[in-house]
Amino acid sequence: MKRKLRACAMLLVLGLLGACGDLSLKKPEVQVASIEAGKTSLLEQDFTVTLRVQNPNDRDLNAQGLYFDLTSHGKKIGSGINNQPIAIPAMGEGTVPLTVHTSLLELLQLTQSALQQGNTTLDYQISGYLDGLNGWGRIPFKREGQLKLPH
């Protein structure tokens, strides 16, 4: 009985030591590379948001997908999702283009409000996560920026 318990304890310790190697992963950096206007309909405005993912690690990173919300002044404008595998090379970077569907009415209201206040830009926030990064759970990210408004 003691022998089995000792063997189980040894396997547990070895398993934990093996897992510690993955704990040294550095969090990837996610930045907005570009936001481009796309198709417009009566109710929606589409954007292509391209995110740049930088890998500061000495090994490749693989994610199962990515999700984010796009907000401005506390209002959710839209969201983007990608369920395709994402592979970022060691000490490298890659881009992930996502289509974001927004409410045209809300977007026009935000733009009008900003222009009435004399602003030439619209503040935005993107918050989301990389999913299943190298077998781990979700790795969150958050970025803020400004969109230049048409005059």
| Domain at 26-148, CATH from 3.10.450.50, 3.40.50.12280, 2.60.40.10, 1.10.10.10 | 2.60.40.10
Task: At 5, give phi and psi (nearest 5°).
Answer: -65, -45
Do 68 and 126 meet the contact criterion of CB atoms below 8 Å apart? yes
Would residue 118 be called left, alpha or beta, if left means φ above 0 and alpha means ψ between -120 and 50 degrees?
left
pLDDT tens-digit series, residues 58-107: 999 999 999 999 999 888 989 999 999 999 999 999 999 999 999 889 88
114-136 residue pLDDT tens: 889 998 888 999 999 999 888 77
Q: In sequence order, what are the beta bridge partners of 48?
A: 36, 99
Give the integer Cα–Cα distance in Å for 129 and 107.
24
